[in-house]
């Protein structure tokens, strides 16, 4: 049986998402897959990587990002959208400024990566001749305000990026990652009334009660959390590692380890969101 191949792409700021990507990689290697492991950064030399970027050459495509202000990182948006992340808007504005007739004409996105070997007949038209690798999207996020509702849009956005390149997305994974924003206080520590980035211990305490204490089965006591995702400081930790590894094992075994080597059809999704 031919070795399976995965293109595992992710962006990261503080390495939480990278931890998940590395746990995924460990599992692919355990199952004997070839892994193309790629951190997507703001300034990529796409041309030198191009030979390894064609989705056509892989069985599975993974795309991961942390969440910033509700969206994937700019590096991901720029690499996968058709001109989002500023380029299109800027072009429209420049056309208006120059009083051009067709002010809303879409800009041509800057030359970046090319994800498929064969071009569609025209931009935006599906290419029915493409093979369709399966896909997985993943994120780490703070979710300190509302929990998993905060990660759904980003997962869907990244899913769209893959779907528009003829990838059938069959998996979604998210887990908490240590927060550095307003919800980034140690569990049980009373947060400040106003959050000042870089000075989060300064100012007066928020006007809330002391955290309740909870008694565990062994009699030890732990404080309640002021934010969603209990003890976010420790994440992604051992528990998230187990979830990430179990998730990707399910994807590999259920979709790819079939009796005849043909992947199962992309009718269902494997979802691990917490
Ligand atoms: C500037 C900034 C903005 C963030 N915005 C959000 C957000 O809108 N929603 C959220 O759930 N988490 C948010 N987070 C938390 C990150 O998504 C979380 O810490 C993530 O695990 C970081 O991943 P990384 O270490 O791979 O960069 C934000 C973090 C930073 C630094």
Q: Select the more confidently predicted residue: 122 or 48.
A: 48
Mean pLDDT to the nearest integer, 154-167: 96
**Stretch among 63-67, 185-189, 249-253 having the lowest mean pLDDT:** 185-189
Q: Which of 33, 78, 241, 64 is nearest to 136 (CA)?
A: 64
Residues of the chain above pLDDT 90, percent: 77
For residue 159, what is the enclosing H or E element?
helix 152-163
So what's the pLDDT on residue 46? 95
Mean pLDDT to the nearest integer, 136-158: 96
Query: Options 3.40.50.360, 3.30.1380.20, 3.30.2020.10, 3.40.50.261; which CATH number does 5-181+227-273 get?
Result: 3.40.50.360
How far does the centroid of ligand 1 lie from the alpha carbon of residue 179, in Å?
6
- Banded pLDDT at 111 (limits 50, 70, 90): low
* CB-ligand 1 contact for 178 (6 Å cutoff): yes
Query: Atom of ligand 1 at shortest distance to CA of 10?
Result: 26
> Where do the structural domains in the chain lie, given as residue ranges?
5-181+227-273, 185-226
**Token pair 């038209």 is at which residue?**
125
* CB-ligand 1 contact for 10 (6 Å cutoff): no
* Nearest Cα residue to atom 28 of ligand 1: 68
So what's the pLDDT on residue 101? 60
Strand order, beta sheet including 134-141: 34-39, 5-10, 60-66, 134-141, 168-176, 270-273
Mean pLDDT to the nearest integer, 221-239: 96
Q: Select the more confidently predicted residue: 247 or 119.
A: 247
So what's the pLDDT on residue 257? 98
- Measured between alpha carbons, how far is residue 103 from residues 83, 94, 122, 236 in Å? 16, 8, 21, 46
How far does the centroid of ligand 1 lie from the alpha carbon of residue 61, in Å?
23
pLDDT at residue 42 is higher than 60: yes
Q: Select the more confidently predicted residue: 84 or 180.
A: 180
pTM: 0.93
So what's the pLDDT on residue 56? 98
Mean pLDDT to the nearest integer, 75-99: 80
Residues of the chain above pLDDT 70, percent: 95
């Amino acid at each position: 049986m031919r070795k399976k191949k995965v293109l595992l792409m992710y962006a990261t700021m503080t390495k939480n998402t990278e931890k998940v990507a590395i746990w995924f990689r460990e599992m692919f290697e355990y199952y004997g897959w070839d892994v193309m492991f790629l951190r997507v950064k703001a300034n990529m030399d796409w041309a030198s990587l191009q030979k390894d970027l064609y989705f056509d050459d892989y069985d599975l495509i993974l795309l991961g990002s942390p969440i910033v202000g509700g969206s994937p990182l700019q590096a991901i948006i720029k690499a996968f959208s058709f001109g989002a992340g500023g380029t299109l808007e800027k072009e429209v504005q420049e056309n208006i400024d120059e009083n051009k007739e067709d002010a809303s004409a879409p800009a041509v996105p800057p030359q970046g990566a090319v994800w498929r070997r064969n071009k569609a007949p025209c931009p935006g038209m599906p290419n029915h001749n493409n093979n369709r690798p399966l896909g997985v999207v993943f994120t780490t996020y703070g979710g300190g305000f509302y929990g998993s509702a905060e990660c759904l849009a980003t997962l869907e956005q990244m899913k769209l990026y893959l779907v528009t390149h003829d990838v059938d997305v069959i998996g979604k994974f998210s887990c908490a990652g240590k927060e550095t924003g307003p919800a980034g206080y140690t569990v049980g520590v009373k947060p400040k009334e106003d959050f000042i980035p870089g000075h989060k211990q300064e100012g007066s305490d928020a006007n809330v009660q002391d955290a309740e204490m909870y008694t565990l089965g062994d009699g030890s006591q732990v404080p309640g959390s002021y934010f969603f995702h209990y003890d976010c400081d420790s994440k992604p930790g051992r528990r998230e590692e187990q979830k990430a590894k179990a998730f990707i094992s399910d994807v590999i075994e259920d979709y790819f380890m079939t009796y005849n080597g043909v992947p199962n059809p992309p009718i269902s999704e494997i979802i691990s969101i917490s």
